[in-house]
Structure 1
Amino acid sequence: MRDDTHDGTGWHADIDDLRAYARGELRAPRLWSVDTHLVTCAICRGTLAEVSDPQTLDAGWERLDAELDAPRPGFVEGLLLRIGVADHTARLLLATPVLRASWLGAVLLVLAMTVASVYTSDSPVLFLALAPLLPLTGVALSYGPALDPTHELAVVAPLHGFRLLMTRTIAVLVASLGLNGLATLALPGYGLRALAWLVPALALTATGLALTARLGPVLAPALVSGGWVALLMVTEATTHGMLAAFTGPAQGVAAAVAVIAACVLHRMRDRFDASPVPSPFTHFARRSTS
């Protein structure tokens, strides 16, 4: 600080401190002192204007405008940021289409109707058949240009395709499995049988993701869902009861399928990073143009 008692202020900010302040290089505690002094001292504000680079000032105003115009994070996004999630990851996570109120409300309605049907028919078959498909459907709707309205934002985000897929898959699984779990609590009379949907749900989701690398985000989950429905129909026709698909041996097979599909998905992870996820209609488009 330079002494300048003749003007009544007692002192003024040092010229080197003002230059560092203008460049954004002044560190505390000098930064706090100069910042407070500039509020009341017109002479130092004039000196600051003289020593400041116009381009630096323009850049500072641009940063200030960008900061003021930036959207304020909501409660959930702020919570994710506080626990260490990167801002772009939190934004893409919350932009997942199936985490919106409309989707979650639709899932709750479907589950409520399914639980009601269980009490009407006195059998959890419909609930066990439908619950594994909800996570698979949610994952399918959360990734890919055909179904995700924020796909352009996801493409330019500093995330690899596989990491983005896994981030949104985990978010969808947490939401879907949580809602399914709440519905299961409404069926206390069936004990552990009411949880028989969990392992098939993981198997269907992992299989759908593994096939997405080759078939695309539309065809892959459609084929997996169709295969699940066909399996249940065959089981019912051959064993006279769909519940055979949720017995102990069937749960073991579903667990093995989930593990194998997860391993295949991990081996094919580079397909999500090297290029966009292929469309299921790409092959037919190439044939029609050739």
Structure 2
Amino acid sequence: MTWHVSEEDLRAYAQGELAPPVLWSADAHLTACAPCRAALAEVSDPVALDAGWERLDAELDAPRPGLFESLLVRLGVADHTARLLAATPVLRGSWLGAVIAVLVLSVVAGNVARTAETPTLFLALAPLLPLAGVALSYGPALDPTYEMAVVSPTHGFRLLMIRTVAVLVAGLGLNGLATLALPGYGLRALAWLLPALALTATGLALTARLGPVLAPSLVGGAWIALMLAAQAAHPAGGEPLAPFTAAGQGVAAAVAALAAGLLFAVRDRFDRSGPFGRSGPFGRFRGSAV
């Protein structure tokens, strides 16, 4: 080894004053050079030396931001918020691919078997996708990035809203693109939007009391039961099912508004002790978060 860290740089390293890129070169060199480590020990105290190695460990362990995260930061989103958004599980390729597959199949079915005034299968499935996406975006049982989300400097309710907005933008966007593939139905193909908002808002509002798994499961089950009951009331087809009529859309809008109000009223439950144990629905006490 023909190059060694100078004594001046070793002293600066020991005092925590050595700046990149010389710092990185010194870190890399010291891992392989016993003489330089011995020289470093002579000019530093143990506390300063430990701090230097801790800096090296932090640098090596720091995750590299992806393209989406880097773009959010460039747009002015805070670093920790951008990381939470980029790490949202349902924004990964597997979830988006599954959603696209479901939408494609329902759109094909709506265009091929056009026996009713509305694409019933598409309208029944589309509201469930945002609900499922939001449910999979938080909570220790479903979110693989849960620990990172827990230690983020963000209140529980704000974290929930960040993840929800990310999911809704992706889910509603894909639903909207699928709607464009059903031009023959006109505006009737948009009848999924209000039910989707109603289901998502209701699931979020009930999460504060029932948890991030049971609440959306019950809401999704109730929607499926409603669709089955509506189908049984019109077995011959030919007319829109009750949830997709003008009256049904009005009810969905009212439910969405009421659920949003309830969610706002119980927002503090996401930051303090509650029926989820000592830590609220996110698994730990977040009252001191900034």
- TM-score for the superposition, normalised by structure 2: 0.74
CA–CA distance in structure 2, aligned partners of residues 69 and 215 of structure 1? 37
> Alpha-carbon deviations, 1:134-156, whole Å to 9, x = none?
00011111111221122222222
Tell me, yes or no, if the aligned pair for 2:14 and 2:52 is still in contact at 8 Å: no
Tell me, yes or no, if the aligned pair for 1:138 and 1:176 is still in contact at 8 Å: yes
The one-letter code matched in structure 2 to 1:235 is A
Match of 2:272 in 1: 274
In structure 1, which of residues 166, 174, 181 is the aligned counterpart of residue 169 of structure 2? 174
Shift of 1:50: 10
CA–CA distance in structure 1, aligned partners of residues 130 and 15 of structure 2? 52
Tell me, yes or no, if the aligned pair for 2:16 and 2:48 is still in contact at 8 Å: no
The structure with more helix, counted as a fraction of residues: 1
The one-letter code matched in structure 2 to 1:112 is V
The one-letter code matched in structure 1 to 2:231 is E
CA–CA distance in structure 2, aligned partners of residues 20 and 145 of structure 1? 44
Q: Whose radius of gyration is greater, 1 or 2? A: 1
Residue 257 (structure 1) aligned with residue 252 (structure 2): no
Match of 2:3 in 1: none
Match of 2:147 in 1: 152
In structure 1, which of residues 185, 210, 224 is the aligned counterpart of residue 219 of structure 2? 224
Counterparts of 1:235-254 in structure 2, within 5 Å, are 235-239=230-234, 241-254=239-252
- TM-score for the superposition, normalised by structure 1: 0.74
Match of 2:24 in 1: none
Residue 79 (structure 1) aligned with residue 71 (structure 2): yes
Match of 1:184 in 2: 179
CA–CA distance in structure 2, aligned partners of residues 95 and 277 of structure 1? 27
Q: 1:218 to 1:237 in 2, by over 3 A?
A: same
With a CA cutoff of 8 Å and minimum separation of 6, indicate the structure with the bigger relative contact order: 2
CA–CA distance in structure 2, aligned partners of residues 121 and 99 of structure 1? 31
Q: 1:161 to 1:277 in 2, by over 3 A?
A: farther
Residue 110 (structure 1) aligned with residue 98 (structure 2): no
In structure 1, which of residues 67, 70, 78 is the aligned counterpart of residue 62 of structure 2? 70
Shift of 1:23: 6.6
Runs (5+) with no aligned partner, structure 1? 1-18, 32-48, 280-290
CA–CA distance in structure 2, aligned partners of residues 108 and 153 of structure 1? 28
Residue 88 (structure 1) aligned with residue 80 (structure 2): yes
Match of 1:100 in 2: 92
CA–CA distance in structure 1, aligned partners of residues 260 and 222 of structure 2? 18
Tell me, yes or no, if the aligned pair for 1:212 and 1:277 is still in contact at 8 Å: no
Match of 1:5 in 2: none
CA–CA distance in structure 2, aligned partners of residues 55 and 219 of structure 1? 50
What is the Cα-based RMSD across aligned positions, in Å? 3.3
Tell me, yes or no, if the aligned pair for 1:131 and 1:201 is still in contact at 8 Å: yes
CA–CA distance in structure 2, aligned partners of residues 253 and 111 of structure 1? 25
Q: 1:72 to 1:188 in 2, by over 3 A?
A: same
The one-letter code matched in structure 2 to 1:160 is H
Runs (5+) with no aligned partner, structure 2? 1-10, 20-40, 278-290
Shift of 1:20: 10
Match of 1:121 in 2: 113
CA–CA distance in structure 1, aligned partners of residues 50 and 213 of structure 2? 48
Tell me, yes or no, if the aligned pair for 2:131 and 2:203 is still in contact at 8 Å: yes
Secondary structure of the residue aligned to 2:213 is helix
Counterparts of 1:197-236 in structure 2, within 5 Å, are 197-236=192-231
Percent identity reads 73
Tell me, yes or no, if the aligned pair for 1:77 and 1:91 is still in contact at 8 Å: yes
